[in-house]
């Protein structure tokens, strides 16, 4: 396999030379933010929404004034994809508080570290293969979602220990995505995905007023469902409601719409609303990119 090219602080470099300083706060403290992006036919899916979320995440960490112009960031991603001659790709854009002389307290002068890594990711599309091997099986884990009072859930930071612990909880099971509850026992989301379920013809997903990352895919799916005239509700749900659902699916940038076939050992159907929404999503991608 030929070596990939990545982007580090404004320069395209071979993967083997794509390094950051060992004192970078993104490494020392998880003090950085990122976006996982999907590139379809050389163009970034929902770029404006990702750029807005990146800016909001940076504002939470209070170094948003160092964010380069959005067009510059977009270009770094596109240049990296082009340098690898990919048409359909996964890209991760990261921005950390960089190296600082002090200890934990952040200094106001920030020289951020900005990186882009990419890998080829063929599109499923209306007649291709999905990127996942099969439908998701979910299991509720003991690890609770970090309350937003401690770490705002709407910021996509480098600190993914919460999700990592949730995935470790799955190790002895056959499940491949976690259901994480908040500290009050409400269903929130997966370790790296938003959760939807269908109850008596109504599409439901936990509200972003809870400790939930406002997923870009989640927003697109909600819009598509509303356009199709499906009854949609965002709210506060118990585990029992998800376990008894007629259908369920999870969403994220790489999986797109991924059906769920089991929740805590209860069979769930990859039913008609899931299939239709997956198809509408594929058509939306094709309409906007090809
Ligand atoms: N994760 N919730 C969490 C905790 C996530 O980490 C993600 C995405 C999502 C879905 O968001 P979006 O639709 O914007 O991808 C929800 C990405 C895939 C990641 O961690 O790389």
Query: Tell me, what CATH number does 75's domain have?
Result: 3.30.470.10
Instruction: Decide: 58 and 95 in contact? Cβ < 8 Å.
Output: yes
Distance (angstroms) between ligand 1 centre and the Cα of 132 equals 15
Q: Are residues 45 and 18 in the same domain?
A: yes
Ligand 1 centroid, distance to 46 Cα (angstroms): 14
Q: 40 and 178 in one domain?
A: no
- End of a domain among 88, 120, 152? 120
> Is 204 among the residues known to form the active site?
no
In what order do the strands lie in the sheet containing 32-40?
11-14, 5-8, 113-120, 89-96, 32-40, 43-44
Task: Indicate whether 131 belongs to any domain.
Answer: no
Confidence grade of residue 276 (pLDDT, cut at 50, 70, 90): very high
Give the strand pairing for 232-235 and 202-206. parallel
Domain of 48, in residue numbers: 5-120
CATH number of domain containing 183: 3.20.10.10
Could you please report the per-residue DSSP string of 232-256? EEEE---HHHHHT-SEEEEEETTTE
215 lines ligand 1 (CB under 6 A): yes
Q: What is the pLDDT of residues 107-147, one digit of tens each?
A: 999 999 999 999 999 987 777 778 787 899 999 999 999 99
Q: 96 and 15 in one domain?
A: yes
- Return the SS3 of 148: coil
**Ligand 1 in reach of 32 Cβ (< 6 A):** no
* Contact in structure between 138 and 264 (CB atoms under 8 Å): yes
Residue identifier of the C-alpha nearest atom 9 of ligand 1:
193
Give tens-digit pLDDT for 11-70: 999 999 999 999 999 999 999 999 999 999 999 999 999 999 999 999 999 999 999 999
**Does the C-beta of 251 come closer than 6 Å to ligand 1?**
yes
> Does 155 fall in a domain?
yes
Task: Answer yes or no: is 24 within a domain.
Answer: yes
Residue 102: per-residue pLDDT: 80
Number of structural domains found in the chain? 2
Cα–Cα–Cα angle for 254, 188, 239, rounded to 5 degrees: 115
- Our answer on whether the CB atom of 192 is closer than 6 Å to any ligand 1 atom is yes
Q: Is there a single domain that holds both residue 169 and residue 253?
A: yes
Looking at the structure, tell me whether residues 170 and 62 fall in a common domain.
no
- How remote is the CA of residue 191 from the centroid of ligand 1, in Å? 8
Per-residue pLDDT of 217-272, as tens digits, reads 999 999 999 999 999 999 999 999 999 999 999 999 999 999 999 999 999 988 99
């Amino acid at each position: 396999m030929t070596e990939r090219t990545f982007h580090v602080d404004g320069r395209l470099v071979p993967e083997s030379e794509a390094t950051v300083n060992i004192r970078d706060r993104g490494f020392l403290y998880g003090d950085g933010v990122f976006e996982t992006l999907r590139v379809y036919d050389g163009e970034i899916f929902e770029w404006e929404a990702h750029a807005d979320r990146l800016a909001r995440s940076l504002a939470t960490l209070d170094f948003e004034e160092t964010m380069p112009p959005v067009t510059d960031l977009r270009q770094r991603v596109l240049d990296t994809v082009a340098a690898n001659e990919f048409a359909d790709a996964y890209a991760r854009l990261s921005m950390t508080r960089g190296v600082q002389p002090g200890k934990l307290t952040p200094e106001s002068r920030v020289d951020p570290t900005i990186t882009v890594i990419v890998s080829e990711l063929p599109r499923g599309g209306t007649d291709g293969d999905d990127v996942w091997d099969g439908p998701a099986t979910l299991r509720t884990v003991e690890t609770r979602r970090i309350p937003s009072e401690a770490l705002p859930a709407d910021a996509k930071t480098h600190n993914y220990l919460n999700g990592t612990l949730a995935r470790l909880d799955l190790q002895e099971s056959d499940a491949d995505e976690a259901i994480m509850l908040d500290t009050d026992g409400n269903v929130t989301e997966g370790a790296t995905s938003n959760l939807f379920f269908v109850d008596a013809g109504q599409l439901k997903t936990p509200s972003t007023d809870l400790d939930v990352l406002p997923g870009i895919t989640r927003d697109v799916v909600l819009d598509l469902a509303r356009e199709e005239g499906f009854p949609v509700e965002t709210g506060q749900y118990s585990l029992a409601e998800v376990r008894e659902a007629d259908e369920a699916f999870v969403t994220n940038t790489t999986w797109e719409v991924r059906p769920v076939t089991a929740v805590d050992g209860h069979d769930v159907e990859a039913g008609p609303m899931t299939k239709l929404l997956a198809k509408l999503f594929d058509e939306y991608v094709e309409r906007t990119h090809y």
